[in-house]
Amino acid sequence: MVVGLLVGGVVAAPFAAWLVRHVSLPMLGALVGGIILITNTRTLMRSFDSEIPAVYVALFAGWAVLIALAVRRTRVLRAEEREAATVV
């Protein structure tokens, strides 16, 4: 089991480094946060033996809104960076 975690970490580390370098922080936050919420909600609902599809629909809708806000924020940040670069 420990070997599997070690191999997984060795495989995932370069991908994670690349991802952090090329994807904006607001976007990473929205993507990772949504995945964590969905997986934890699934686990929580299964522990109570009640999987309600409407909960998943609401989570995915909220996640889509957060991703859209993160894209918008990323565009604003990049525009500000371009402005600052042209001023100097």
How many residues can be counted in the chain? 88
Is the separation of the CB atoms in 45 and 51 below 8 Å? yes
User: To the nearest 10°, the Cα dihedral for 63, 36, 58, 26?
Assistant: -20
Q: 33 falls in which pLDDT band (50, 70, 90)?
A: very high
Average pLDDT over residues 34-50: 91
Computed over every residue of the chain, the mean pLDDT equals 92
Is the pLDDT at 88 greater than 80? The verdict is no
- Phi-psi domain of 23 (left: phi exceeds 0; alpha: psi -120 through 50; beta: other): beta
